[in-house]
Amino acid sequence: MDNDIRENSAPRDEVAAACAADRPRYFYAFFKRAFDIVSSGLALLLLSWLILICIFVKWLEDAKNSAYELVIDEVTDPSVPKAARAKRLTAADGRVYDCLLKPRRREKGERREGPVYASRRVGRNGEFRFYKIRSMCPGAEKMKKQLLEAGLNEADPPAFKIKDDPRITRVGRFLRKTSLDELPQLWNVFKGDMSVVGPRPPLPDEVAQYTPEQRARLSVKGGLLCLWQIQPNRNKLSFDDWIRLDLEYIQKRSFLMDLKIIFKGAYMVLFDRSGE
């Protein structure tokens, strides 16, 4: 596997151009789509009970607390203990904040968010609805601006990621740790929006900031599993590393490479916690 993931020696702009102009691989594409349909269809049949249980448990959590507010306070004295359930995070400029997720009353006319949400993502054929069990609190998207303004984004723009994101609920933390929140994406694979293996589908506002080189990662279908996800300490990879590994996958993709990513991805979900 190490030989499959070593950095391509060609300049990255040349790699991106090669990916964007990649000739169709009809035999590979036909059997990959057949594998996607069969594997996702079987998984949906076998795991439908588990998906329904996860949705129900998340619904119970949100029924108790259907609305939240995120309180972000700067810490002037780091020796002072943080409040219970607060997350102490350090911004890029070194400032320290306590972030506390607090339940609140839902305002009149405020829409209740369900346990499954469909966000807009960008794939090879444009935007599509991306399904996931909600691991964050209702209204989490609106809180993203607060976190950005505090400088708490730990990923390289345009990506956004916080390892110990304060918007994640107790049930959501378990769902993420076990990757159960991703199970509804099997429907995306079955429908053809995604594949089992491919670059992770990005958000439209991220794609709007892409360079032409970065847009080359959209030349194939997005996937449940990708090359950067199976790297040790994957959360420490930079956005440039994500792009490099996605472009490398597009150039080298094959049945054998897909199988290696699937089996190693399954192993990491079950046994490896280096990416948490």
Q: Where does the pLDDT of residue 162 fall: very low under 50, low under 70, confident under 90, or very high at 90 and above?
A: very high
What whole-number distance in Å separates Cα of residue 16 and Cα of residue 250?
9
In this predicted structure, what is the pLDDT of residue 12?
60
The amino acid occupying position 171 is V
Cα–Cα nearest to 137, from 165, 159, 179:
165
Is 50 exceeded by the pLDDT of residue 166?
yes
Is 50 exceeded by the pLDDT of residue 26?
yes
In this predicted structure, what is the pLDDT of residue 275?
47
The amino acid occupying position 50 is L
Alpha-carbon Rg for the chain in angstroms: 20
Is 70 exceeded by the pLDDT of residue 3?
no
Residues above pLDDT 70, as percent of the chain: 89
Is 50 exceeded by the pLDDT of residue 4?
no
- Cα separations in angstroms, 13 against 5, 8, 19, 26: 18, 11, 10, 26
Is 60 exceeded by the pLDDT of residue 276?
no
Q: Where does the pLDDT of residue 109 fall: very low under 50, low under 70, confident under 90, or very high at 90 and above?
A: confident
For the chain, the average pLDDT equals 88
Least confident of 22-26, 78-82, 216-220: 22-26
Q: Do 78 and 89 form a contact (C-beta atoms < 8 A)?
A: no
234: tokens are: 């994957």
Strands 126-133, 68-74: pairing kind? unpaired
Q: Do 81 and 98 form a contact (C-beta atoms < 8 A)?
A: no
Q: How many residues does the chain have?
A: 276
Q: What is the mean pLDDT of residues 131-147?
A: 93
| Ranges assigned E (strand) in the chain | 68-74, 87-90, 96-103, 116-123, 126-133, 195-197, 223-225
In this predicted structure, what is the pLDDT of residue 2?
44
Is 90 exceeded by the pLDDT of residue 10?
no
Cα–Cα nearest to 171, from 11, 54, 29:
54
In this predicted structure, what is the pLDDT of residue 1?
46
The amino acid occupying position 83 is A
In this predicted structure, what is the pLDDT of residue 270?
77
Q: Do 255 and 36 form a contact (C-beta atoms < 8 A)?
A: no
Q: What is the mean pLDDT of residues 104-118?
A: 88
Q: Which neighbouring-strand residues pair with 231?
A: none
In this predicted structure, what is the pLDDT of residue 143?
95
Is 80 exceeded by the pLDDT of residue 274?
no
Is 80 exceeded by the pLDDT of residue 207?
yes
> What is the number of alpha carbons within 13 Å of residue 261 lying toward its C-beta?
24
